[in-house]
Structure 1
Amino acid sequence: MITITLYLPAILFRAAGVDFRLRPIDLAMRPKRFLAALLSVALIAPPGAFPQSRGNSSLLSLNAQSAEPPLVSGPTDIYADPIVPPDIAQGVFGVYGGAQSRFSGQSGANTSWRAPLVTQQLPDLGNGGAGSLTPQAERKLGERVMRELRRDPDYLDDWLVRDYLNSVAAKLAAAANALYIGGYRPDFDLFAVRDAQINAFSLPGGFIGVNTGLIVTTQTESELASVLGHEMGHVLQRHISRMITTGERSGYAALAAVLFGVLAGVLAHSGDLGSAIAIGGQAYAVDNQLRFSRSAEHEADRVGFLLLAGAGYDPYAMTTFFGRLDRASMSDAGVPAYARTHPLTGERIADMEDRARRAPYRQPHQASEYGFVRARSRLLQEHSSGEYTDEISRLRSEIEDRTAVNVAANWYGIAFGQMLLERYDEAAASLAQCRAAFVTGEQTEGEPARSSPSLDVLAADIARRAGRDDEAVRLAGFAQQRWPQSNAAIDMHIRTLLTLRRFAEAQALAQKETLAHPDQPAWWLYLAQASAGSGDALTQHRAMAEKFALEGAWPSAIRQLKDARDMKTIGYYDLATVDARLHELESRYKEERLDEKS
């Protein structure tokens, strides 16, 4: 071992109000550890400790002291005044500093939200008013994130579940418009994730993910709506945009996070200081995010409650569901994922109970689709035939033991599971039992007997998979005719036509949907498949190009348009259209590459 002896003169400097004296020392260490120690000493001193840092210090201080104006949320809460957490400046909602910052020395100073936002090199989308992302930039960022999520095998591309979640969100969004909540009106897009954990999460631009475990755990539609309203509250109050912007303004907190990593690497005798730095930064980011969330959750609760009550749901549902999660966090089963990412406190639950007591009573109506989607989610979160069989047994046992909350929904889940196991005759028989129980339940409530998109779509799907072609196309057409706004019914009709090789009809229907909803990759894929079957190569290439463009696969999209342009049979006007679209996609691809580099 090499001994390095350094004789340093005594150095006195002041940092954070404390005098430090460095006396002559005899250091015996490896060069890497020596450099790490010097870096630690340099980082632990706050801005202004050294003469050369004064300029930057004043700039950082200016950024830390700047605060955004309060959000305008429309009329005041008609039920109760909002309870402002103690770590939020009085009179200001939406600007969260959390507990006293350990690095800035200022109470309520804005600090970093999440370190990975910097390390992931997200594109520079610019700033909107008050130092936050513009709604357009936030939506663009959300679409970029959604591209990656759709590639995940656990992304649940099930139209019945998506249609239902978005129908609930539409009711809540209508309440937000009626109550003038927030000045931001995003196009909410909800989707499901195949995950048994109880959780939901909001993304920039109005995208909200819901785990199947959350859908299954709720006991009423109002409970599910309470969680969705809470997440929509985060979006309407632009918490994500504020967190991203706050993270951009806290450069010194990020440097201090690096210090933790360096020290951890030295103390652990790590040979990889780079990994230690990353670990330290992540640990600080997690702690800071929790402090931020505790403040933001109060405002999301307040907005979510207004949406819940305004949409006609049970105002006590939020208290009931969150209270059940809170009790679950005290059990031996561990803390639910939703309680970890959305910290529950006694103050929050008490606030919800107080608001519910003050709200006028309404008899909430529960849509029949809720029970069917909940039962469907129980099967969709499974992955193997053995798990399907076990879930079918549990559903059947609940019926036999008279513990099923909704008998018709249990029979629906049994039928869906049997279809997945390719036991089509049994599935058809179980679906008949479901319809009988459903009609009986509706008549008991004094309502006329009716059907449901889930029932009609499942009937067509069973016939299609069983190879009963005539019955399948009849049921699929009937489902779309009965539910013209149901994406699930339209999707099933197109898939049935493709299965029966009726490509011309499938192409016409898919073409109509691409014109009505050009932002859905599924319709472009169906159009490409139908066009390929009918021999329309030009439409096939153009449809595939649009699908790839929506997925962010720019080289593949450009390749498809070049193939279309090079066709010998292409006409003059089609060539001009394809060429113009090709230049547009090439320009967007170049723009995104520049964003990623910057």
Structure 2
Amino acid sequence: MKKTFSIWLFCLSLCVTASLSAVAQDATYSNKNALPEIGVVASDAISLDKEMIVGDAVMRQMRGQSPVIADPVLDEYLQDLGNRLVIHAENAKFPFEFFWVDNDAINAFAFFGGHIGVHTGLMRRAKTESELASVLAHEISHVTQRHIARKMQAQKRSSPLAIASLIGGVLIAMANPEAGIAAMQAGSAASAQLQIDYTRTNEQEADRIGISMLARAGFDVTAAASFFSTMAEEYRMVSKPPARLLTHPLTETRIADARARAADYPARYLRPSVQFELAKARIMARYSFEPDYAVDYFNAALEKNAYKLKVAAQYGLALAYMRAEENEKAKEIVINQLLSQDPSNLFYLDAATDIYIALGEPLKAVELLQPHVSLNPRNQVLALNQANALISASQYEQAIDLLRDFLLVNKDYQIAYQLMTEAYQKAKQFSQMHQSKAEVYALYGAYTRAVDELQYAYNFAGEDHLEKQRIRARIKQFRDQEERLERL
């Protein structure tokens, strides 16, 4: 398995984000059916516009310095699941962005601007899609109720940027503990105010609203209590609980409250979700397990019929074979078995593309994907896999055209810019290559390096005055973005 990061460091980030709250009085919860406190009352602490700016800045910092996963298939699944919940949320003021963090701890977290991260470890332990959805609904509720802003308003001390600095520092600590500690020390004035003990009010509010959201979205409302019970049982005898339990205290009362709230809704029994089981298998095969262990694990599951859905175990085994560079075995499973059963499945199409490229047959991947891309050219899984296959087949201009179209509506997708950079480089279009590389740096918040790349691009532009004008304008935009953050 992949190495996990410091539980203590990461638990602080959840105190700053998902669990920020004022000191609670038990009497507040004498009526479980009381209407939630709507978070817009905290608008004088930080405006929605500023919240989105700070959230964007922290997200850029995370991309550059923490183990955020860039995986179109998993991103597509998580964003779709999150959106199914958000449409049933009250007081959602901006689009939500859901993303994965490569960390085996059981955890999820939310911060400014509708950003919600989920650890791969949480997905690995979730037994059903409703359990995963229950965690997302809880975190969405933290955002819609603006718990961070309400904490700031109650204290009237910490500036948005001070809290953003602390959040960023703790998130960095997942990938680089020493750097994270230094960043947190720089924001110590804010960190001194953020205590683990002050979580009850916001946690119960998020539980209540989240379970209601879960019911409206058509999920099993008993999943919240069942996942609470799973975590409590797994870590009952452990001296160092996971971050999720440290920052989201899991008492018997809280589990009982979740069960009582679920009893207010009709029982709902759902079949296992194919997409959930495939996503879980992908996380286990690609991120949680070492290649050899993954092969043994999924082979054993298939031999003993120890799976919820056979196709998920087959898919996991195929991915494990790919990581072990046994691509012919993977091809037999994915292309000859899984795709024949479900030819439009994005998980299978993604794996088939990688297999064909690994076997030196990228044009077969292009041919396989083309009818699907024609129907949905801006789907991230289809477009990015097709672009990758076209680049591998030395069809650079076609890849560039496809990526340009994709980026018109997905302007912050780093893999697209990375593929674009590769295509321009191999096509020897160096001015465009440096411009694309600048966009990658900007997504990491590295504006100085982005400007450097644009200056290289300017030098390669030659006598193309229109191109030079566009480059100068982009340089100004990057510098303006830096200044806007400073003005916060």
Residue 143 of structure 1 aligns to a residue whose secondary structure is helix
Aligned to 2:108: 200
2:219 and 2:149 map into 1 onto residues whose CA distance is 29
Q: How does 1:464-503 map to 2 (within 5 A)?
A: 464-481=357-374, 484=377, 486-503=379-396
Match of 1:374 among 280, 288, 295: 280
Aligned to 2:228: 322
Match of 1:139 among 52, 56, 59: 52
Aligned to 2:4: none
Q: State the shift of 1:483 in Å.
A: 5.5
Paired letter, 1:372: L
1:209 is the counterpart of 2:102: no
Aligned to 1:401: 304
Match of 2:213 among 275, 289, 307: 307
Q: State the shift of 1:553 in Å.
A: 1.7
Paired letter, 2:27: P
> Where do 5+ consecutive residues of structure 2 fail to align?
1-20, 160-181
Match of 1:413 among 290, 301, 316: 316
1:455 is the counterpart of 2:348: yes
Q: State the shift of 1:85 in Å.
A: 4.0
Tell me if the contact between 1:409 and 1:434 (Cα under 8 Å) persists in the aligned partners.
Answer: no
Paired letter, 2:303: E
Q: State the shift of 1:197 in Å.
A: 1.2
Q: State the shift of 1:476 in Å.
A: 3.5
1:223 and 1:510 map into 2 onto residues whose CA distance is 35
Q: State the shift of 1:495 in Å.
A: 1.1
Tell me if the contact between 1:408 and 1:433 (Cα under 8 Å) persists in the aligned partners.
Answer: no
Aligned to 1:535: 428
1:151 and 1:250 map into 2 onto residues whose CA distance is 25
Q: State the shift of 1:318 in Å.
A: 1.2
Once the two structures are superposed, residues 306-345 of structure 1 have per-residue CA deviations (whole angstroms, 9 ceiling, x without a partner) of 2111111111111211122122232348533322221112
1:423 and 1:506 map into 2 onto residues whose CA distance is 28
Tell me if the contact between 1:188 and 1:206 (Cα under 8 Å) persists in the aligned partners.
Answer: yes
2:94 and 2:38 map into 1 onto residues whose CA distance is 21
1:86 is the counterpart of 2:33: no
* Residues 429 and 579 (structure 1), Cα distance of their counterparts in 2 relative to 1, 3 Å cut: same
* Residues 95 and 492 (structure 1), Cα distance of their counterparts in 2 relative to 1, 3 Å cut: closer
Paired letter, 1:454: F
Question: CA RMSD of the aligned region, Å?
Answer: 3.3
* Residues 327 and 315 (structure 1), Cα distance of their counterparts in 2 relative to 1, 3 Å cut: same
Q: How does 1:212-231 map to 2 (within 5 A)?
A: 212-231=120-139
Residue 292 of structure 1 aligns to a residue whose secondary structure is coil
TM-score (norm 1): 0.67
Q: State the shift of 1:239 in Å.
A: 0.9
Tell me if the contact between 1:473 and 1:496 (Cα under 8 Å) persists in the aligned partners.
Answer: yes
* Residues 242 and 432 (structure 1), Cα distance of their counterparts in 2 relative to 1, 3 Å cut: same
Higher relative contact order (CA 8 A, sep 6+): 2
Deviates most, 205-214 or 539-548: 539-548
1:427 is the counterpart of 2:340: no
Tell me if the contact between 1:156 and 1:194 (Cα under 8 Å) persists in the aligned partners.
Answer: yes
* Residues 290 and 568 (structure 1), Cα distance of their counterparts in 2 relative to 1, 3 Å cut: closer
Aligned to 1:77: none
Match of 2:70 among 141, 157, 173: 157
Aligned to 2:88: 175
1:233 is the counterpart of 2:136: no
Answer with 1 or 2: which has the greater Rg: 1
Paired letter, 2:64: R
Once the two structures are superposed, residues 468-526 of structure 1 have per-residue CA deviations (whole angstroms, 9 ceiling, x without a partner) of 23322222434534664531222111111112211010110111112121122322232
2:453 and 2:97 map into 1 onto residues whose CA distance is 28
* Residues 92 and 401 (structure 1), Cα distance of their counterparts in 2 relative to 1, 3 Å cut: closer
TM-score (norm 2): 0.81
Once the two structures are superposed, residues 197-253 of structure 1 have per-residue CA deviations (whole angstroms, 9 ceiling, x without a partner) of 1111112111111111111111111111011111111111111222344455389xx
Q: State the shift of 1:405 in Å.
A: 1.8
Residue 208 of structure 1 aligns to a residue whose secondary structure is strand
Once the two structures are superposed, residues 101-122 of structure 1 have per-residue CA deviations (whole angstroms, 9 ceiling, x without a partner) of xxxxxxxxxxxxxxxxxxxxxx
1:213 and 1:417 map into 2 onto residues whose CA distance is 18
Residue 209 of structure 1 aligns to a residue whose secondary structure is strand
Match of 2:157 among 245, 249, 254: 249
Q: State the shift of 1:434 in Å.
A: 5.8
Q: State the shift of 1:568 in Å.
A: 5.8
Once the two structures are superposed, residues 34-66 of structure 1 have per-residue CA deviations (whole angstroms, 9 ceiling, x without a partner) of xxxxxxxxxxxxxxxxxxxxxxxxxxxxxxxxx
1:345 is the counterpart of 2:223: no
Paired letter, 1:165: L
2:484 and 2:190 map into 1 onto residues whose CA distance is 34
Once the two structures are superposed, residues 228-279 of structure 1 have per-residue CA deviations (whole angstroms, 9 ceiling, x without a partner) of 111111111111222344455389xxxxxxxxxxxxxxxxxxxxxxx9xx79
Aligned to 1:294: 200
Residue 370 of structure 1 aligns to a residue whose secondary structure is helix
Q: State the shift of 1:529 in Å.
A: 2.4
Match of 1:364 among 259, 262, 270: 270
The number of residue pairs the alignment matches comes to 439
Q: State the shift of 1:159 in Å.
A: 1.1
Aligned to 2:292: 389
Tell me if the contact between 1:316 and 1:353 (Cα under 8 Å) persists in the aligned partners.
Answer: yes
Residue 175 of structure 1 aligns to a residue whose secondary structure is coil
Paired letter, 2:295: I
Q: State the shift of 1:399 in Å.
A: 2.1
1:337 and 1:290 map into 2 onto residues whose CA distance is 11
* Residues 558 and 335 (structure 1), Cα distance of their counterparts in 2 relative to 1, 3 Å cut: closer
Tell me if the contact between 2:378 and 2:405 (Cα under 8 Å) persists in the aligned partners.
Answer: no
Aligned to 2:237: 331
Residue 109 of structure 2 aligns to a residue whose secondary structure is strand
Once the two structures are superposed, residues 147-201 of structure 1 have per-residue CA deviations (whole angstroms, 9 ceiling, x without a partner) of 222124622111111111100011001112xxxx12x422111111111111111
* Residues 128 and 499 (structure 1), Cα distance of their counterparts in 2 relative to 1, 3 Å cut: farther
Tell me if the contact between 2:377 and 2:406 (Cα under 8 Å) persists in the aligned partners.
Answer: no
Tell me if the contact between 1:194 and 1:380 (Cα under 8 Å) persists in the aligned partners.
Answer: no
Deviates most, 494-503 or 483-492: 483-492
2:469 and 2:378 map into 1 onto residues whose CA distance is 34
* Residues 95 and 536 (structure 1), Cα distance of their counterparts in 2 relative to 1, 3 Å cut: closer
Paired letter, 1:320: S
Q: State the shift of 1:569 in Å.
A: 3.2
Paired letter, 2:48: P
* Residues 486 and 84 (structure 1), Cα distance of their counterparts in 2 relative to 1, 3 Å cut: farther
1:388 and 1:189 map into 2 onto residues whose CA distance is 30
Once the two structures are superposed, residues 538-564 of structure 1 have per-residue CA deviations (whole angstroms, 9 ceiling, x without a partner) of 332332233322222222222233333
* Residues 414 and 233 (structure 1), Cα distance of their counterparts in 2 relative to 1, 3 Å cut: same
> Where do 5+ consecutive residues of structure 1 fail to align?
1-67, 69-82, 97-126, 252-274, 440-448
1:92 and 1:458 map into 2 onto residues whose CA distance is 47
Percent identity among equivalent residues?
Answer: 27
